[in-house]
Amino acid sequence: MGGTKTLIRYVTAPQRELQALSINIVAEMAQNNIFCQDIFTKDKFLPALARNLSEAKSNENIVRCSIYAISSIIRSFPPGMNEFKRINGVKALLPCLKSANSDVYIKSAFLIASLSSLDKSLRDAFVNSDAFSMLMENVKPIDDFDVKQETTLHALSTLSTKTNLKLSAEKRKNLELILAQVISNNKQNEDCEVRFIHRNSVDHFSKAFCFLFYTFRT
């Protein structure tokens, strides 16, 4: 694919509209396509995309597109996953959890959950990098369906599985209280049915982690 040299140049181009379009082309081409995943990995697209994540506070659209492209290149593709580890992709992705942009936050939290469910070493790396505490900051006692809340709980649930997760008594109590309120609020919700999957964490967190599934009534 001779066009990759041109494409990677545009992936880091200063013209934001052109850059975003180029990144989205990479994401679409790589999705479920081992041939393109292999080429983009070998041609070092991942380091370029990871550098884009540092713009989480200044250009949310570029960051959002870059997370999408990174996910497309590495998911279900071990060489891409290994390259993500090599370039310390965990460190590059974490600042996105601090983004005030909901799309950036949701995409980063979802990718963390997805990678952690597929690779224990990445799950451990996210836990050791304090991703759990960063996600906890976004758990709110809301009483309606919320994509950000659902994605956050999914990521927390995944990170709490078979990891050396240790929380202070204060953080544990705080999260238990918030989750108990989330469960209580949503059980009374007339607009949707809520199912909960509880998981015990390695430090016996009293089934504190739950992943909410909403089925809207018609």
In-domain check, residue 121: no
- Do 101 and 59 share a structural domain? yes
Q: For 85-131, how does the pLDDT look when each residue is reduced to its tens digit (9 = 90+)?
A: 999 999 999 999 999 999 999 999 999 999 999 999 999 999 999 89
For the ranges 26-30, 132-136, 212-216, the one whose mean pLDDT is highest: 26-30
Residues listed for the chain: 218
What tokens were used for 152? Answer: 């956050």
Tell me the C-alpha distance between 139 and 59, whole Å. Answer: 25
Average pLDDT over residues 172-184: 72
- Do 157 and 85 share a structural domain? no
- Do 100 and 42 share a structural domain? yes
The pTM of the full predicted model, rounded to 2 decimals, is 0.81
Q: For 51-79, how does the pLDDT look when each residue is reduced to its tens digit (9 = 90+)?
A: 999 875 678 999 999 999 999 999 999 99
Structural domain tally of the chain?
2
Q: Which amino acid is at 164?
A: N
Of 107, 150, 108, 162, nearest to 131 by C-alpha is 108
- Do 199 and 103 share a structural domain? no
In-domain check, residue 34: yes
- Do 213 and 174 share a structural domain? yes
CATH number of 35's domain = 1.25.10.10
- Do 172 and 103 share a structural domain? no
Structural domain of 137: 130-218
> pLDDT above 90 covers what percent of the chain?
50
What tokens were used for 175? Answer: 């999260």
- Do 105 and 16 share a structural domain? yes
- Do 158 and 89 share a structural domain? no
Of 109, 144, 175, the one marking the end of a domain is: 109
In-domain check, residue 125: no
In-domain check, residue 120: no
Burial category of 27 from C-beta neighbours within 10 Å (exposed 0-12, middle 13-18, buried 19 and up):
buried
In-domain check, residue 208: yes
Res. 190: pLDDT tops 60: no
